[in-house]
């Protein structure tokens, strides 16, 4: 894959990245960051390549030194309604809109750009190439990990603090036994199966086609009040 990147000729540049596209539960969280050239941050890199201790230190430094930063998000209900790609782009729009300083240009990790009021460019592997995107990657990851740790306190049996909602063998096993919470993404296949939504779809198809139907019975979804996570300060 070509990772050539030409730096844009622009004044204030914001970097944008996301965390949480793959998990079965929780929001997808995005961050937008405009760095302050007068307050350099040493050690910025793709959050996946940093230790937990390094990430936590850099998180505090970014929110202290950045010219502006903002978090965006799309909730599980929005992910289910829009699909994960469109929900991620929406969350990116929200992060950019939340900046206290308007950037002249926005660089976004990946190969898709949301519709924005200013010029933008997608940068493949941008979290390794662009410091602003690296900073956004760190803010998004730490913020989402903290949300999942808080969710773990509410539902400790699911192990959210360990797997962060990703489809590990442990998470899938707990889903099969306990069912899904209100924080799980109903449009993702493992959750669909647990809730019997595939069976519901098949039943609808049978009523139209008259063909036999097989599938698991529907498992009633527990009623769980929504978890509210405040923006880090």
165-192: per-residue pLDDT in tens?
A: 999 999 999 999 999 999 999 999 999 9
Per-residue confidence (pLDDT) for residue 230, from 0 to 100: 43
β-sheet with 13-19: strand ranges across: 68-74, 28-34, 13-19, 105-109, 120-123
Per-residue confidence (pLDDT) for residue 197, from 0 to 100: 80
pTM for the whole thing?
A: 0.83
DSSP 48: G
- pLDDT higher than 60, residue 79: yes
| Mean predicted lDDT score pLDDT of the chain | 87
Query: Distance between alpha carbon 167 and the CA centroid of its chain, in Å?
Result: 15
Per the model's pLDDT, the better-predicted residue between 222 and 3 turns out to be 3
Q: How confident is the model at residue 201 (pLDDT cuts 50, 70, 90)?
A: low
Residue 121, phi then psi, degrees to nearest 5: -145, 135
CATH number of the 13-154 domain: 3.30.420.10
Cβ atoms of 92 and 17 closer than 8 Å: no
Distance CA 96, CA 17 (A): 11
- pLDDT higher than 60, residue 143: yes
- pLDDT higher than 70, residue 68: yes
**Domain ranges (residues) in the chain:** 13-154, 156-209
Per-residue confidence (pLDDT) for residue 232, from 0 to 100: 44
Q: How confident is the model at residue 199 (pLDDT cuts 50, 70, 90)?
A: low
Per-residue confidence (pLDDT) for residue 3, from 0 to 100: 56
């Amino acid at each position: 894959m070509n990772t050539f990147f030409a730096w844009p000729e622009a004044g204030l540049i914001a970097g944008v990245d996301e965390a949480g596209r793959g998990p079965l539960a929780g929001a997808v969280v995005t961050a937008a960051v405009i760095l302050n050239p007068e307050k350099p941050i040493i050690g910025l890199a793709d959050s996946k390549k940093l230790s937990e201790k390094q990430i936590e230190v850099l998180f505090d430094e970014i929110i202290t030194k950045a010219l502006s930063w903002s978090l965006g998000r799309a909730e599980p209900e929005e992910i289910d309604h829009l699909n994960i790609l469109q929900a991620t782009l929406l969350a990116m729009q929200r992060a950019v809109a939340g900046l206290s300083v308007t950037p002249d240009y926005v660089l976004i990790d990946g190969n898709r750009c949301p519709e924005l009021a200013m010029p933008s460019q997608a940068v493949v592997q941008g979290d390794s190439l662009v410091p602003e995107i690296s900073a956004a990657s760190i803010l998004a990851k730490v913020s989402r990990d903290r949300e999942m740790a808080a969710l773990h306190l509410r539902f400790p049996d699911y192990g959210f603090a360990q797997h962060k909602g990703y489809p590990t063998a442990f998470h899938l096993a707990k889903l099969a036994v306990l069912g899904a919470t209100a924080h799980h993404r109903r449009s993702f296949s493992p959750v669909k199966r647990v809730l019997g939504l595939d069976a519901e779809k098949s039943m609808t198809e049978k009523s139209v086609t008259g063909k036999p139907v097989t599938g698991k019975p529907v498992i009633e979804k527990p009623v769980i009040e929504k978890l509210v996570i405040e923006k880090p300060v």
